[in-house]
Amino acid sequence: MKSQFSNRARSRSLLVQALVVALLVSVAFFGFDTLTGGLVRSYARTTASLAWTASAGIISATDGNGFFATRRLLARENAALSERLALYEESMARFRALEDENEALRAIAQLAETEGDGLAARVLSSLGSSPYGTFVIGAGERDGVAEGSLVLTPGGFLLGTVSDADSHTASVRALFSPGSLVDLVAGNISFSAEGRGSGNARAEIPRDAKVAVGYVVSAPAYFGRPAGLIGTIESASSSATQTLFLRLPLNLDTLRFVYVTPIK
């Protein structure tokens, strides 16, 4: 009994000591990062960007080869395909991948014609992996990307702003990141919307405001750029307000390139 009690006391004392060490280590890491202007974050992003680039290559290759096709389809293909046809299909898959990429870049190029100076950047990370509503793009200070630069979708909608940039990559904070408040305008009414993540936001406006589903909302703080669409409107007859559910007009999971433009 006494031995069990002393074991528990020893264990608790070890936990407290380890907790203090963990806090000190955390403070040391974050302090060093802050003092060096984000050196540790830069290394973390660079390391992760290697993993993201490699995984994107693997996914693209397996997708092109039909690795995840159904068994029936694969059995039929295995029976029919000769070595020459396999080579041909591999070339076709590569061509399709390039065609997809070309299409995405063409949309960006059209945007570049209207926006002027700016650059297209590849989205390195997933847009749903960050708990803070951030994502990483493959362009940094060497490409002219700086903190505060605007990040647009290929359609010209405001996706977010660059929150931190190092030499080759930059962290982007999504406009509709979870919990963020954004001032927006729709029709003749201005309101504040709360970000919900994944390109969605929610806002409450007076019931008599003249808005409709499909209206484009713009962000006055970002030179009136379009920030999203009204996806759904909910209102109860007993309420003085109506709730707007806003969304970006594209699937963020398939977004491969963004357009980065300096604040002007």
Partner 1 sequence: MSLRSNNIRILLAAALFTSVVFAPPWLAAVFAFALAARWRAWEVVAAGIFMDFLWLPTSVTFVSVESIPFATLISILTVVCLEPLRRQLLLGPGIL
CB closer to partner 1 out of 128 and 155: 128
Q: How far is the CB of 68 from partner 1 (least distance, A)?
A: 17
Q: How far is the CB of 30 from partner 1 (least distance, A)?
A: 4
Name the β-bridge partners of 160: 151, 174
Q: How far is the CB of 26 from partner 1 (least distance, A)?
A: 5
Q: What tokens does 224 get? A: 């009136």
Q: How far is the CB of 101 from partner 1 (least distance, A)?
A: 21
Residue numbers at the binding site for partner 1 (CB under 8 A)? 4, 7-8, 11-12, 14-15, 18-19, 22-23, 25-26, 29-30, 33-34, 37-38, 40-41, 44-45, 48, 51-52, 55, 125-126, 128-132, 134, 163-164, 171, 173, 179
Phi-psi region of 37 (alpha: psi -120 to 50; beta: other; left: phi over 0): left
CB closer to partner 1 out of 51 and 109: 51
DSSP code string of 140-208: -GGGT--TT-EEE-TTS-EEEEEEEE-SS-EEEEETT-TT-EEEEEETTEEEEEEEEETTEEEEEEETT
Cβ count within 10 A of residue 168: 17
CB closer to partner 1 out of 162 and 205: 162
CB closer to partner 1 out of 51 and 81: 51
